[in-house]
């Protein structure tokens, strides 16, 4: 297990769900956390509940100016965990351009904004830890997932590119691909969600991975295996199984 004592980590998307549950795990392990999301109130309530030191730094990762201002206030960090995300179910037959663009701008482009603020410093110091949250939905096209699946696929490719560039340096890159987690976002789904996880259970799985030396993890198994191996199927069979 890694030594988290006194390590300063920026958690982006920490106010609820998986982010808040992971904050509890990391704080209990001794990390010094910088908690970010759009709203200050929930972040302050979370900070008050944590056993270790925590700072509150509101940021809207869909806004260039907000990210730049947060980066100036942030100072040097040991690691960043990107957890922010938005989701609405959307079929091509029910296209909503505003929601589609918002999903792309938060789930993918927002991560680029944040990484642009921290990666150059980590590269210069040859030290750092980057953790990116993808999704099982990013492994392939899915029905009703216009916007979300595509943005998560981009996010996962972004993590793979970072890992390819930095795997022989002092900057560690990790990717976490969870399945369904019970949050206000998945509450929007009207279909059955196999192997639905509670945020605390998913946070434990994520933190175990962060304590490992592996690049990527996908959970829960065996649900994750279906998505991982689905990308190797012939397209006609993939569509028949998933769509």
In the chain, what are the domain boundaries?
A: 8-242
Residues of the chain below pLDDT 70: none
Return the CATH fold of 8-242. Rossmann fold (3.40.50)
Burial of 54 (0-12, 13-18, 19+ CB in 10 A): buried
- For the beta sheet containing 54-56, the strands, ordered from the edge strand earlier in sequence to the opposite edge, are 54-56, 32-36, 8-12, 79-82, 128-133, 171-178, 216-219
Annotated catalytic residues are 148
Which residue do the tokens 């709203």 mark? 39
Residues 108-146 pLDDT 10s: 999 999 999 999 999 999 999 999 999 998 988 888 889
pTM more than 0.85: yes
Give the contacts of 205 (CB within 8 A, at least 6 positions apart): 178, 197, 217, 219, 220
């Amino acid at each position: 297990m890694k030594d988290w004592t006194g390590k300063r980590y920026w958690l982006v998307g920490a106010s609820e769900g998986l982010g808040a549950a992971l904050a509890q795990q990391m704080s209990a392990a001794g990390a010094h956390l910088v908690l970010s999301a759009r709203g200050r109130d929930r972040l302050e309530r979370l900070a008050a509940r944590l056993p270790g030191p925590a700072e509150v730094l509101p940021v809207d990762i869909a806004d260039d100016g907000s990210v730049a201002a947060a980066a100036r206030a942030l100072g040097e960090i040991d690691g960043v965990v990107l957890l922010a995300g938005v989701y609405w179910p959307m079929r091509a037959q029910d296209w909503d351009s505003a929601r589609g663009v918002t999903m792309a701008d938060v789930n993918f482009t927002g991560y680029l904004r944040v990484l642009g603020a921290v990666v150059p410093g980590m590269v210069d110091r040859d030290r750092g830890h980057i953790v990116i949250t993808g999704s099982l939905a990013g492994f392939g096209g899915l029905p009703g997932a216009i916007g979300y699946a595509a943005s998560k696929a981009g996010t996962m490719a972004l993590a793979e590119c970072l890992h390819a560039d930095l795997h022989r340096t002092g900057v560690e890159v990790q990717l976490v691909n969870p399945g369904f987690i019970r949050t206000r976002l998945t509450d929007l789904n009207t279909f059955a969600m196999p192997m639905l996880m509670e945020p605390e259970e998913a946070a434990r799985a994520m933190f175990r991975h962060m304590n490992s030396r592996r690049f990527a993890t996908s959970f829960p198994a065996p649900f994750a295996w279906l998505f991982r191996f689905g990308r190797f199927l012939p397209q006609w069979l993939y569509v028949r199984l998933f769509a």
